[in-house]
Amino acid sequence: MTFSTAFRAAALCGLAFLCARTSLGQTSTSQISGTAFDHSGAVIVDAIVTCLNEATGTVLKQTTNSTGLYAFPSIPVGSYTLTVESPGFKKAQQAGNKVVVGTPLTINFNLELGSSTELVNVEATVEQLNTTNATLGNVVERQAVQTLPLNGRNPLNLIVLEPGVTQRSGTTINVNGMRGQAGNVTIDGIEANEASNPTPTNNVFRINPDNVEEFKVTTSNPSPEEGKNSGLNVSIATRSGSNEFHGSLVEYFRNNDLNTNEFYANAQGQKRANLKSNQYGFEVSGPIRKGRTFFYGAWQGQKVSLSQAIDKAFGRVPKVYTKEALSGVFRYFVADPSNPLTLNGAKITQNSPALVTTGGALANGIRACGSPTDLNCVQSYNIFTNDPAHIGGDPAVLKLLNSYPAANTFSSGDGLNVAGYLWNAPSSVRGPRDLLRIDHMFNANNNVFFRVMWATEQQLQGDLLNGRPAIFPGFPPRGEVYRPASNWALSWRRVITPRVVNELTAGFARFTFLFTYGDSNPQFPNNIPAYTFNNVDVDYIFSPHSVRVLNTPQLIDNISWTRGAHVLKFGANVRLYQQNDGSGSVSGINVLPAISLSASLNAPGAGFNLPGVAAGSAAGISSVDNTSLLSAVNDLLGIPATLKQGFLGNLNTNTFSPLFSGNYLSIWAPGERARQFNAYAQDEFHVRRNLTLTYGVRWEYNQPHTEVSESPYVPDRAVNGSEGPVTFVKSNSWWKRSNANAFAPRLGLSWSPDSRAKTVVHAGYGLAFDSIPTYSSAAAANSVPGLSYSCTATTYGVAPTKGCGTVPSNTRLSQNFPQQLTVPAVQPSSFLTPPAALLGTAPNIVVFDPNFKTATVQQWNLTIQHELPGGLVLQTGYVGNRGQRLYSQTDINQIGSGPILPSFTAMQSNLAKGCKPDGSGCAGGVPVPLVTNGILTSAFVNSSTTITDLQQNAAGNFAGRIEQTTLNAHLRPNQQFSSIIQIGNQADSVYHSWQTTLRKRFSSGLLMNLSYTFGKTIDVQSGDPVGTSYGPTTSTASDSTNLRLDRGPADFDQRHVATVTWIYELPFGKGKPFMKSANRMVDAVLGGWSLQGFNSVMSGEPFSISSGAKTAQYGASSRAILTSSSLPDDSLRPGALGPVFFSSTAGFALAPAGSTGMGRNMFQGPMFWDMDGALSKSFHASERVKVTFRAEAFNALNHANFRKLGSTSVGSTSILSSNFGTACCQTQSTSTSTAIVSNGEAYRVVQFVLKATF
């Protein structure tokens, strides 16, 4: 199906449905329906039903149809009064009916015989059972959003309290075993996702909770009108005005003096991290014209100032030259080979921090040499005076290095020439958030609303979250972040007839992400090119900015038609995703020129009169210190080794671009496009009074992604080389299959077996489809050969890269060394058919399977809901799903070990016999086929690197080294490419769970929510191919040809999850059960107190134990194997600094050559539990003004939670690592309140809140 065909189909659908309204699952509206009965249970026809919005006074009317059914679809959330009257019956009225977002409300009336002038008031219950469909989820009401302690003021953090939801490491949440990218968030019906990577809690629109009326969380089996993905669907309804003026002022305050210290920082005696946070704002609402036009406006500002130790923010202590080194004097320790100096029990043979005091002076027992032949002392070499060219230090280099602060820590570096600078790097977060909403009612049949949101988040002075701080005081940061966003909605609801209602919603969402690098420096780009020093750090990242602009125009149409016992709904949704990127780096190639001063490439010559290197009994400078000396010579004298520069290719003009086009830096600017057309038809069939069937079908036509700046270039044939050399050719899209047949039937049953409707049985089944994020197609665009070209010119006699010019040899930076290379004369199209090349030299590419399909998920559930006394509702039941054709990422150019295993095992056998790997050097050696057939030399197979591979069973690594050496082995399917990452549909998953909830919506001063999930998720890959995952190689297949080898517990599988939420107003004070008649003074002291909070307890996350060796294939390390039939104990135990997982590698061994090792995710990390709590006090400053003070504590009990093993920094999972299992890291949140996630603070953080409402 072509785009034009699909567009016409969507347009005809819209015309046929008369500008239909947005579906309940995608807007902020809802529905009230029900049936009128007489005393005998017969239906009443033509009864007049009136629906009054208690806030705005809006009145809707209709009559019951031939089945006694009435329905008010697409009404705003809020509280309503229903009145039913019919001749011969008493008028019935029920007030306080709470309509919540996206959740149909059924209210039946039993009219009594009598005069219509008599009124019977029916009491509305706080909690109504779901008697309409089998959808699983919950509505988070305003009371919870407003009063629960929300870390970072992000109301979506409350999502993790729902059954079936898991979250631990990072911001990604998973629902009922589905991937984190399978979620969808809408605000008033308009999408608020980051289209490139749509995880519900990870987007810039962390909406202000004051703006939220309520939001619905759908976790499984959405009805046909809801969509669009298999995971979490969140529908947020913003607040609107009413006939009365209301408003509030609020201030949220944090200070590090109120907090405890982080576990490891406390263990090491470090001070608490600096954090000062103020979030403040106001909201106001009311009528513009009573009964007609209403407004709501809100504004929130924030000022967050924080700092972080530079070694954590930067990843290490920044290194600077000592004052002696900056003067040209390089100092080195000369040891006596026969009698080296012993200091504090250690022999001194080279430079070390032990040679100096904390202030940098020579330590006691260390002296300067008195003569050139003196030993066990510190000798000096003057770089400037020994310069054979007599030029001396490079002025530009010394100006930069002398601007660095003096070293203040000598525990890093070599102590004598290079030391460190420790300080706390600052950062700040700024940015307002605004919302304006206008509602207008033209008449009872026509009303509209307009809503706009703006949000700006700026991380200034340094981006601590991404390791880009200012590395020295007063210096520009290595990067900053700017995230402006906006979300617009315009909706028109029209009552065509009393039984036909439509609503048309149009909207637009924009997210912008700007990451500055070099442009954070005021000198950028005036000081092109950058220097890459050898011994010390540079002050900023020399790379142009990276920007991403995500636009989503959206049009939603839906109609509701009440006919007989049926509420029919039809709808369409059009989303046009746009991802526009800008970057100065393509395929890892930077367009900015950079000068390397590498001494390993261009070592100073003999004319420098360099000191002799110690060897055997001959004293001299150690080899380690000699390397530092040579590097210092090149650094300080400005001796360049290479000039490297990347060029961007334009396949439209078939030319490479110069560095600047006029005054503008050349930037790669692709534009990804994804068009989605959805439609549905649904019937809500009220079969009987106690039985409702909701069934229908969704059509989700998600077109193949395309690209607008340059047409997509895709392989012209099988990319694995089976059909000959591959050429990249123009295409209309990134993959061929249209997937226009994505029809998803859905069925839900709601049955009340008892006459009082206190128990409801729900059963549901449906299909859902997940779309692929635009980030994936951007990755494919980034890898097209010819889009970039890297040139390197050398100063040391090696031939320059062809076509980019040359640089002079023996030329210093100060001697007009070239600043950039010439544009290559080659054409980008010449790279579209890459030649066969060695591994590492050939390009890496990302492609889509030409037969790429839409991921499909089957969902089902069987649950029972029962209303208990006291407003409690209990729900329990089975929830499951099956993911098929899920998105996968595999390297189809994988270098497996199979073809070389005979040679590898022969070499291992030779080595075990005492022979050399090639079989020589002893009797009994066997020949090695790879050597005898001339593919490899004996020198290669007998090398120390090969011996290490043999000792570690690393047949995969050995195979990769072969491909790096020769093209004769043909271990890659296609030697045109190093790797071929194919995005396809090879993954699957299955989820089973039992879920139980006990809820009490807020009434009589109490809200309570308890949930428990016992579930298990099994899959082969746990995330969409949109980026890296937490933990080691979680997205890398053990064997791309057999993903079943990775089938095991999902990375996010947490077997047990329990949560408790509470809001409890203490029953003391005026109007309360105790002291209800208290005077104003007593009430001011004892009244108005309340407790809020929630507690989460979760099982640990699974993880695998790695062998650390590539035993099966070159692309990934295999997992270890067990040496016994039982699993080693993986519980936490005391360590030197904190808890550890494993005290040794006992119980594990390297996988055999060719094997992928034991199963995936066989071990489980530590349990997580956390409690956040709050205590609040409210009092009335006047009749209309209420003031509330609240003290909130996140991780209130200061309980340290620890992550699973994941990498070297948190305890390596590799049995070859010296850090194996010896450390694990606390579950952490960033100290920026705007980025705090709901997986718990690392330590207790206190926040004070002051709020005034009127």
Amino acid at 507: G
Burial grade of 937 (CB within 10 A; 0-12, 13-18, 19 or more): middle
DSSP 823: P
d(CA 830, CA 786): 7
State the 10-residue block means of pLDDT for the chain, 1254 residues long: 41 36 54 88 91 89 90 88 91 88 86 82 73 89 90 85 82 86 89 78 72 90 87 90 94 88 72 84 95 94 87 86 97 95 90 94 94 95 95 92 93 93 90 94 93 91 87 89 93 92 94 82 66 85 85 95 92 95 85 91 90 93 96 96 91 90 82 94 93 95 92 94 95 92 95 87 95 89 91 78 80 90 92 96 93 95 94 95 94 95 97 95 93 96 97 97 96 96 94 97 91 97 62 65 94 94 93 85 88 92 92 93 76 63 85 95 87 94 92 90 66 82 49 34 88 94
Kindly report the length of the chain. 1254
DSSP code per residue over 492-517? EEEEEETTEEEEEEEEEEEEEEEE-S
**CA nearest 78: which of 113, 124, 136, 28?**
28
In 3D, which of 842, 837, 843 has the Cα closest to residue 967? 837
Distance CA 560, CA 1061 (A): 36
Where are the chain's structural domains?
319-420+598-637, 898-963
C-alpha 56/C-alpha 244 separation (Å) is 9
In this structure, what token pair is assigned to residue 198?
């749509």
Q: Determine contact, residues 1220/1114, Cβ cutoff 8 Å.
A: no
Q: CB atoms < 10 A from the CB of 186, how many?
A: 32
Q: How far is CA 19 from CA 283, 373, 790, in A?
A: 33, 95, 54
**pLDDT tens figures, 1132-1172:** 666 555 667 777 888 899 999 999 999 999 988 888 888 99
Q: Apex CA 148: angle with CA 1248 and CA 295, to 5°?
A: 90
SS3 of 768-805? EEECCCHHHHHHHHCCCCCCEEEEEEECCCCCCCCCCC
Residue 168 has phi, psi (to 5 degrees) of -135, -85
Distance CA 1150, CA 1075 (A): 72
d(CA 713, CA 705): 12
Could you give the CA distance from residue 251 to residue 1233 in angstroms, rounded to a whole number? 14
State residue 285's pLDDT score: 95
Q: Which residues contact 526 (CB under 8 A, 6 or more apart)?
A: none
What the block records as the tokens of 488 is 């617009």
C-alpha dist (Å) from residue 995 to 136, 174, 229, 1101: 10, 15, 21, 19
Q: What is the largest CA-CA distance in the chain?
A: 122
The candidate with the shortest Cα–Cα distance to 1202, out of 1168, 1234, 1236, 1233, is: 1168
Could you give the count of Cα atoms lying within 13 Å of 156 in the half-sphere of its Cβ? 32
Other beta carbons within 10 angstroms of residue 880's beta carbon come to: 18
The 3 state secondary structure assigned to 1150-1186 is CCCCCCCCCCCCCEECCCEEEEEEEEEEEEECCCCCE
Strands annotated E in 498-605: 500-515, 530-532, 546-563, 566-583, 585-586, 589-590, 594-596
Strands 1048-1049 and 1148-1149: unpaired
SS (H, E, C) 296-354: EEEEEEEEEEEEEEHHHHCCCCCEEECHHHHCCEEEEEECCCCCCEEECCEEECCCCHH
CA distance 487 to 282: 20
CB 873 within 8 A of CB 1087: no
Find out whether 348 and 401 touch, Cβ atoms under 8 Å: no
pTM of the model: 0.87
Q: How far apart are CA 75 and CA 178, in angstroms?
A: 32
Element (H, E) at 996: strand 980-1003
- Enclosing H/E stretch for 1081: helix 1080-1086
Task: Render the burial of 1011-1047: b for 16+ CB within 10 Å, e for the rest.
Answer: bbbebebbbbbbbbbbeebbbbbbbbbbbbeebebbb
Confirm if 762 and 865 have CB atoms less than 8 A apart: yes
Q: Transcribe 250-305 into DSSP letters.
A: EEEEEEGGGS---HHHHHTTPPPPPEEEEEEEEEEEEEEETTTEEEEEEEEEEEEE
Q: CA-to-CA distance for 479 and 476, rounded, in angstroms?
A: 8
| CB distance 796 to 602 below 8 Å | yes
